[in-house]
Amino acid sequence: MAQVPQTFFDALAVRTWCSLALRALGRAREEIDAINVYPVADGDTGTNLYLTAESAAAAVEAVFEAHDAHGSGKPALADAARAMAHGALIGARGNSGTILAQLLRGMAQVLAAEGETTHTDGEGLRLALRQAADSARQAVAHPVEGTVLTVASAAADAAGGAEGDCGTVARAAYDGARAALAATPGQLAVLERAGVVDAGGRGLVAVLGALVETFTGEVSRAVPVMSDLDRARVAGDTDTTSPAGSAEILADSPDECADAPGAAGPAFEVIYLLEADDTAVARLRQRLDRLGDSLVVVGGDGLWNVHVHVDDAGAAVEAGVEAGRPYRIRITHFGLGDVHTTGAERPPREPAQRAVVAVVPGEGLAGLYAEAGATTVLARPGEPPASGELVEAVRRAHAREVVLLPNDADLRHTAAAAAEQARTEGIRVALIPTRSAVQGIAALAVHEPERRFDEDVVQMTSAAGATRYAEVTVAERQSWTMAGICQAGDILGLIDGDVAVIGSDIAVIAEAVLDRMLSAGGELVTLVLGDEAPETVADHLEVRVRESYLAVDTVVYRGGRQGAVLLIGVE
């Protein structure tokens, strides 16, 4: 459902922006990964930006939940802005993710500033974008033009010349960033050779597009990432005039780019959180700058996120120990996958050949899925699992091959990021983009571990895709929908993710939804009842199907506390 646009910067605007930014980065993640050639062509910039934004959004949600629990209303702007910055800082991944964390921290410094003037209007947003760009540039040891830093500066410059409300300023920043992004290949030779724009800059444009949507409701147009000729070459079009005629241009070869894996550049990426004072961090910057490159140190107030590319990973960690207390240490060998420093050992038992990992919305369905042999991750209402929880579930399944069922359209990008992380650990993961638990049930029903992996995934995907899904739920707030404007407390009937019916009676709405779904045909109706569903609604719908639709069977499950009052599947 579309959100009502925000008119000024308050805590709700921060929350909306974080949510929309996470969704935008999720949509663009694979595209950004594919054009990632600088500073290292390791194909993870989109994933790193997504994970950073995910941590920021989760921190903001935690603040809102804490206020709800104490009955104190919504949090103040300062609380939400600080949570956003802190969440991004502790969850920052990779070079671009670390810079994004500092951009958000710079904005929070203005939005959360104490004093007589509160920065909630267009002028405040201009100041916040300027502080973001300047602080991010200061955090990088050796700023390079044609990168996300250039795009951030252009956004701040364009915003500085805009007069008006937050929507006007955000749109100016987005347009300025978009123009700067298009110019990055002319500023950085490695981008020009690859025929792509800067990956980190592309991610920032997505984040700023979400800011525009927050204040105007307008969804930003697509952003070109390469020329038409280069796009054809990447696709392997043999008709192109390019002598390559393949995807080789997507990542420069070692002799073309010193930063590419396997070239003369540093072998390791080292990232850690560090508790240290400003003086110690200043010395740390100097030492790490001598050890390697791509140095970015962001944070403040005693907590920092350190990112550097080095040949001697141990020396980079030792430097952190001398400066303070490093933790959450992550070391990645470019080209060899992740090297985790947690000291955890793999279980001694032999991994199973194949497993299914599924996100389920209620305890009842968790039991049903578990009986069918799936490893489950419980998604409680308002508490969607983070990518780290999904990765842990994949590890817990202890299989060489894993089929991942997110069972929620909003979790698709989170699941994709988790799958990408699991693959770096040598696990073969196939993500089937199920958008509802009833689609997951259909997929699980045809799962056969003895089949070849690809064949099994195809059959499960086909079964899920042939299942239309719907839900009956209660509106939490006023929203714009495909069926009109709903008010808090209204009963909503959603079909395939879009609101189709609005009313006040659960049984009436459920019957209307079911009739619309069966009008296109079907052989099996699956009903999953939540705890809030009336006891009579299942019987009512079963009678409706039996009397009005010949040869259609109905199966009913108890989902427990699943958020939606009722889930419906039609196969």
Per-residue pLDDT of 315-359, as tens digits, reads 888 889 889 988 888 877 765 443 333 333 334 445 668 899 999
CB contact set of 450 (below 8 Å; sequence gap of 6+): none
Sign of CA dihedral 350, 353, 359, 362: negative
- C-alpha–C-alpha distance, residues 415 and 434, integer Å: 11
Helix, strand or coil for residue 189?
helix
Tell me, what's the pLDDT at 218?
Answer: 85
Tell me, what's the pLDDT at 250?
Answer: 26
User: Which alpha helices (H) appear in 324-427, and where do they start and end?
Assistant: 363-371, 387-397, 412-423
Cα-Cα end-to-end distance for the chain: 25
Instruction: Of 230-239, 255-264, 311-320, 456-465, give the lowest mean pLDDT range.
Output: 255-264
Average the pLDDT over 385-396 and give the result. Answer: 88
- The answer to whether 308 touches 292, Cβ cutoff 8 Å, is yes
Tell me, what's the pLDDT at 129?
Answer: 96
- The answer to whether 11 touches 77, Cβ cutoff 8 Å, is yes
Query: What percent of the chain stands above pLDDT 70?
Result: 86
Between 136 and 66, the more confident residue is: 136
pLDDT, tens digit, 9 for 90 and up, residues 17-76 = 999 999 999 888 889 988 988 887 777 889 889 989 999 999 999 899 888 877 777 889
Q: Taking Cα atoms as reference points, which of 208, 252, 218, 222 lies closest to residue 107? A: 208
Strand partners, 268: 310, 333
pLDDT, tens digit, 9 for 90 and up, residues 202-237 = 999 999 999 999 999 888 766 666 544 344 444 443
- The answer to whether 112 touches 77, Cβ cutoff 8 Å, is yes
Instruction: Of 246-260, 449-463, 533-547, give the lowest mean pLDDT range.
Output: 246-260
Q: Taking Cα atoms as reference points, which of 121, 67, 60 lies closest to residue 88? A: 60
Tell me, what's the pLDDT at 406?
Answer: 94
Judge whether residue 246 has pLDDT over 80.
Answer: no
Give burial (CB, 10 Å; 0-12/13-18/19+) of 63: buried
Judge whether residue 372 has pLDDT over 80.
Answer: yes
- The answer to whether 8 touches 190, Cβ cutoff 8 Å, is no
Q: Measured between alpha carbons, how far is residue 60 from residues 50, 105, 358, 409 in Å? A: 15, 13, 26, 21
Tell me, what's the pLDDT at 493?
Answer: 93
Between 13 and 228, the more confident residue is: 13
What percentage of the chain's residues is helix, strand, coil (to nearest 5)? 50, 20, 30
Tell me, what's the pLDDT at 238?
Answer: 34
Token pair belonging to 90: 């502790």
Tell me, what's the pLDDT at 348?
Answer: 42
Q: Which helix (H) or strand (E) holds 168?
A: helix 166-183
Average the pLDDT over 149-175 and give the result. Answer: 93
Tell me, what's the pLDDT at 268?
Answer: 83
Label residue 154 by pLDDT band (50, 70, 90).
very high
- C-alpha–C-alpha distance, residues 124 and 107, integer Å: 9
- C-alpha–C-alpha distance, residues 332 and 334, integer Å: 6
8-state DSSP, 248: G
8-state DSSP, 350: P
Relative to beta strand 484-486, strand 491-495 is unpaired
Q: How many other CB atoms are found less than 10 A from the CB of residue 419?
A: 23
pLDDT, tens digit, 9 for 90 and up, residues 393-416 = 898 888 999 999 999 988 888 898
Token pair belonging to 76: 């103040």
- The answer to whether 152 touches 132, Cβ cutoff 8 Å, is yes
| HEC secondary structure over 308-347 | EEECCHHHHHHHHHHHCEEEEEEEEECCCEEEECCCCCCC
CB contact set of 147 (below 8 Å; sequence gap of 6+): 38, 184, 188, 198, 200, 201
